[in-house]
Amino acid sequence: MAAVLHDVSDILERASRGPQLMLIDGKWEQAEAREHFDVFDPVTGKVIAKVPSGQRADIDRAVKAAARAFESRVWLNLGAQERAKILWRVAELIDKNASDLTNLESLNNGMPVELAGYTISMGAEAFRYYAGWCTKINGQTSDISAGPSNVHAFTLKEPVGVAGMITPWNSPLSLACTKVAAALAAGCTCVIKPAEETPLSTLRLAEIALEAGVPPGVVNVVTGFGHAAGAARAGHPGVAKIAFTGS
């Protein structure tokens, strides 16, 4: 995808050519207000990219896209085994692109390359772990005594709907992976707002999810600031559950 960076040299080149795009309903888009903000290398203080400054309208678009994907059951109807295979493919693609992702995370976050590589591998393992849960989220059946007769009861576990996720700057990709993989394993759809300091690897994760076969609208990423995009996410009536790790 031309809108998402693949290696460090491309990051530095794109910094002078215009902003990144965010993912809404399977499409790479600008913010409605056409505003953006700079992303820095914390080691040098240099601008390495520009990303859209998402606002309430952008969050609304993303949540509605995620809600449509959830209500259409485009993800659920794949079946648990196929969803597990797709999550496993996400892990394989993270491994395949580990070198680029490590460099990207180190450049944007400032962590040592060795530590960045460790967090990338942990992100892949999160998808493998939750891939296993896709086929193991089951209800229960039991016989219940009710006076002179017995009652046969059963329970079903169903996804809550749209999960809104806010991730911090300190381990951007691995924490995004943990939240996204868990939600997808449960059958939910996602709207992610990465920390404004470190959005680049989460945008790359969204691209990987599409490449692995996650249907459009199931994973959405809106970049922006906490007081605007984050607050709109947390307060949106279409979001059924919030996963938030603070900075």
Residue 138, pLDDT > 60, answer yes
Is the pLDDT higher at 145 or at 100?
A: 100
Per-residue pLDDT, 110: 94
Q: Is residue 64 part of a domain?
A: yes
Residue 159, pLDDT > 70, answer yes
pLDDT tens-digit readout, 49-67: 999 999 999 999 999 999 9
* Average per-residue pLDDT for the chain: 91
Q: Is residue 62 part of a domain?
A: yes
pLDDT tens-digit readout, 111-129: 999 999 999 999 999 999 9
Residue 3, pLDDT > 50, answer no
Per-residue pLDDT, 144: 81
Is the pLDDT higher at 56 or at 143?
A: 56
Number of compact structural domains in the chain: 1
Residue 104, domain extent? 8-244
Query: Distances from the Cα of 218 to the Cαs of 8, 121, 129, 164, in angstroms?
Result: 28, 23, 19, 12
Residue 19, pLDDT > 80, answer no
Per-residue pLDDT, 17: 59
Q: How many Cα atoms are found within 13 Å in the side-chain-facing hemisphere of 206?
A: 32
Per-residue pLDDT, 11: 56
Residue 2: pLDDT band (50, 70, 90) is very low
Residue 14: pLDDT band (50, 70, 90) is low
Q: Is residue 50 part of a domain?
A: yes
Q: Is residue 81 part of a domain?
A: yes
CA distance 128 to 141: 28
Residue 141: pLDDT band (50, 70, 90) is confident
End-to-end CA distance of the chain: 30
Q: Is residue 1 part of a domain?
A: no
Per-residue pLDDT, 218: 98
Per-residue pLDDT, 7: 55
pLDDT tens-digit readout, 185-232: 999 999 999 999 999 999 999 999 999 999 999 999 999 999 999 999
CA distance 11 to 121: 22
CATH number for the domain harbouring residue 203: 3.40.605.10
Cβ count within 10 A of residue 1: 14
Q: Is residue 3 part of a domain?
A: no
Mean pLDDT score, 237-244: 95
Please name every residue paired with 166 in a beta bridge, in sequence order, or none if there are none: 193, 244
Residue 18: pLDDT band (50, 70, 90) is low
Tell me if 144 sits within 8 A of 126, measured CB to CB.
no
Q: Is residue 110 part of a domain?
A: yes
Q: Is residue 2 part of a domain?
A: no
CA-based radius of gyration for the chain: 19
